[in-house]
Structure 1
Amino acid sequence: MRHPAVISLLVAKGLRAFGDGYVSLLLPLYLLGLGFTPLQVGVVATATLLGSGLMTLAVSLYAGRYPYRALLLGAAALMAATGVAFALETRFWPLVVVAFVGTLNPSSGDVSIFLPLEHATLSRTVSDEGRTAAFARYSLVASMSSALGALAAALPAVLVGATGLTSTAAIQGMFGLYALLACMAGWAYRDLPAELGADARQATAALEKSKKNVYTLAALFSLDAFGGGLIVQSMMALWLYQRFGLSAAAAGTVFFWTGLLTALSYLAAVRIAKRIGLVNTMVFTHLPSSLCLIAMPFVPDVSYAIALLFIRGALSQMDVPTRSSYVMAIVPPAERPAAASVTSVPRSLASAASPVLAGYLLGLTSFGWPLLAAGTIKISYDLLLLAMFRKVRPPEE
């Protein structure tokens, strides 16, 4: 884990996740403050996910022509441009365009073009035995940084009180900080070996030996992502704002603690996976978290909703490092970049359709239909994954 490339990835990942942590909470408030409807908030969130999916597809087709460092530096530049554009633009359709071509992330997880490139880089710098632990640390850094970013969502309110700025101007300043974080992440990527990925120029060719498994996993992950898109952090925050009147500062505190619980769960996931296997860990930690989602719309008080969010935070993301490790484990090394992209692209595209639906439903009622639907869809995914892949084991099991 002391490989310089791994350290560079973790630093860049942490910086990006910090920005995503507060942007996902401030985005709906910013858009509502500009006079947009919940449906329009959902449209912007959908545009971000759809654009990320298409750009990830482009990475899967052309990444083999360039070193990973060059592509990651380009992505960091795009992230910086996204922050600047959101800090300056207030009209709806231009914001939709920027969301589509940019790197804005309405989710607590990573759905951007960075993901397959970082996964491919990480998998090429660790052994099979250390792979799950490496992905767990990668996810741990992301979750901790995202949790701290959620706390930073309270900064606009502090700025308003201290300087007299409008809420809109204060949030625009946070988008400026997002651009600065992108520049810092780009500086970290500069330390990656220039040749990393260049010796695998054919690695992103069509899958061969692993085609059936990867395509099946991509379909299953898409089902899970469609459900997850209904409750991306921006939409969950919007529901809490509408249903319980939660402020941005209070929501930031809630998502800080859920992020902290999620971070700790990554370490537990490694131990659990060693005992019961990667697939079992993915399924049997995910099922109860989905039940929490189903229960949440029926609670009478915000304290119960927060308690269920905490339980879900401690369980729902254990499948993230195990899923990444599992995909990398069951495909030949030469096909790993392609597998990372093929399993990421459908997830992004599937999740892209959901926020606009969630925004529409939340515009009709604050009951929480998106949460109920998301939990039901995710349970279906878990059961299908267990049935289809419980006998497909990685080398270390």
Structure 2
Amino acid sequence: MRIPGCTANRIGRSRPSALLLPDGVESDALILLVARGSRGMCDGFIAVLLPGYLFALGFGQLAVGLISTNTLFGSAFATILIGLAGNRFASRGLLRFAAALMMATDLAFAGLSSLWPLLIAAFVGTLNPGSGDVSLFLPLEHAKLAESATGDARTALFARYSLVGALSAALGALAAGLPDWIATYSAASSLTAMRAMFVVYSTTGIIIWILYRRLPAHHSTADAPRVPLGLSRGIVTRLALLFSVDAFASGLLVNSMLTLRLIQRFGLSPGAAGQFFFWAGLLSAGSQLAATPLSLAAALAPTLSGALLSLGWLGAPLVACGALKIAYDLSLPAAFRHVKPGGGSS
């Protein structure tokens, strides 16, 4: 819930804050947007480089799939823990812990070469095999964003958060070509250059940790009375079920696995695959720009539904992913077509 008097934080906002944040949003939300953009850049190039990096270490397709799957299982487990016990700790402390875990994860991937240690690091850490954020950062930052605005301003803020993530991931995908460039114009091997990219990711975790220190400190809500969901329980349950279908479909085609197919089927280099994901990311980012005006003109549910793209026959995972996405896209607006921004109904 928004604390009375918080709008005072908007007085004297810097010009970047005024440009990035909608009216009616606390200036602290800018820290979350910058952190999201920094992570997105790193997620963009790591998701593309991961298959090639694991191949360079001597692993095969199965290892790529196992490590990618383990990262998603670990993120799901961490999200459940945050939901069950996150209210016992200050959110700023949890975010800083996540940033520290990000540093450790990528240092582990940069230094380890055996499968089992990498599997453990993938499960425990915050590595993301796709461009979308699926780590424990996501529920923590979403909760902080929800506290930073109300009403239409909240919708606009979440749209900008998604836009920043999509744009930064697209730009990060372009950086996937850096290891090949470094290996070509220096004495470093391609493997060494890819290890350096993981070190860059870890260094970004330090920057994000420093950013989170600037967030206002809030006490935990462990002693606060628990309020049951009540009438909203049904809505939350339906949304959770629908989102689980969407997440399962997305998990069939995370960027690292699609990169693996592009490399093996079409012989693309990581740099060329990065260009593919760059343009795909720009198209995704463009859809975020329409989220706020569409949500104001119609119900929120159609805005959440993705466009259906005809990609052709690229393999069984693509077909399964597309079928599930279609079911999700049709079910979401049907279930929530009467819901209006702000919690009202049409």
Correspondence 1:15 to 2:33: no
* Distance in 2 between residues matched to 1:80 and 1:201, nearest whole Å: 32
* Distance in 1 between residues matched to 2:234 and 2:312, nearest whole Å: 37
> C-alpha displacement at 1:95, in angstroms?
0.5
Task: Give the structure 1 partner of residue 308 of structure 2.
Answer: 288
Correspondence 1:387 to 2:324: no
* Distance in 1 between residues matched to 2:123 and 2:226, nearest whole Å: 24
Give the conservation status (yes or no) of the 8 Å contact 2:296–2:341: no
Task: Give the structure 2 partner of residue 187 of structure 1.
Answer: 210
SS at structure 2 position matched to 1:145:
helix
2:264 to 242, 265, 273: 242
2:250 to 222, 228, 237: 228
Correspondence 1:94 to 2:117: yes
Q: How does 1:1-397 map to 2 (within 5 A)?
A: 1=21, 3-195=26-218, 198=220, 202=224, 207-283=229-305, 286-289=306-309, 292=310, 295-297=311-313, 367-395=314-342
- The aligned amino acid for 1:75 is A
> C-alpha displacement at 1:206, in angstroms?
6.0
Q: 1:206 to 1:86 in 2, by over 3 A?
A: farther
* Distance in 2 between residues matched to 1:287 and 1:118, nearest whole Å: 26
Deviations 1:139-171 (A, max 9, x none): 111111111111111110111112222211111
SS at structure 2 position matched to 1:99:
helix
* Distance in 2 between residues matched to 1:64 and 1:30, nearest whole Å: 38
Superposition TM-score, scaled by structure 2 size: 0.88
Give the conservation status (yes or no) of the 8 Å contact 1:44–1:96: yes
Percent of paired sites with the same residue = 47
- The aligned amino acid for 1:51 is G
Q: Which runs of 5+ in 1 are unaligned?
A: 298-366
> C-alpha displacement at 1:119, in angstroms?
0.5
- The aligned amino acid for 2:315 is G
> C-alpha displacement at 1:3, in angstroms?
2.4
Q: 1:5 to 1:203 in 2, by over 3 A?
A: farther
* Distance in 2 between residues matched to 1:259 and 1:203, nearest whole Å: 42
Give the conservation status (yes or no) of the 8 Å contact 1:17–1:146: yes
> C-alpha displacement at 1:279, in angstroms?
0.8
Q: Which runs of 5+ in 2 are unaligned?
A: 1-20
> C-alpha displacement at 1:134, in angstroms?
0.3
Give the conservation status (yes or no) of the 8 Å contact 1:64–1:204: no
SS at structure 2 position matched to 1:124:
helix
Deviations 1:201-240 (A, max 9, x none): 6487764442221122111111111111011111111111
Give the conservation status (yes or no) of the 8 Å contact 1:61–1:205: no
Answer with 104-113 or 265-274: which moved more.
265-274
Deviations 1:256-300 (A, max 9, x none): 1221222222111212222222112223xx2423xx2xx332xxx
Task: Give the structure 1 partner of residue 18 of structure 2.
Answer: none
Q: 1:205 to 1:16 in 2, by over 3 A?
A: farther
> C-alpha displacement at 1:241, in angstroms?
1.1
Q: 1:373 to 1:26 in 2, by over 3 A?
A: same
Task: Give the structure 2 partner of residue 306 of structure 1.
Answer: none
User: Larger relative CO (CA 8 A, sep 6+): 1 or 2?
Assistant: 1
RMSD: 1.8
* Distance in 2 between residues matched to 1:203 and 1:288, nearest whole Å: 44
Superposition TM-score, scaled by structure 1 size: 0.77
| Greater C-alpha Rg | 2
- The aligned amino acid for 1:296 is G
> C-alpha displacement at 1:396, in angstroms?
6.3
* Distance in 2 between residues matched to 1:4 and 1:282, nearest whole Å: 26
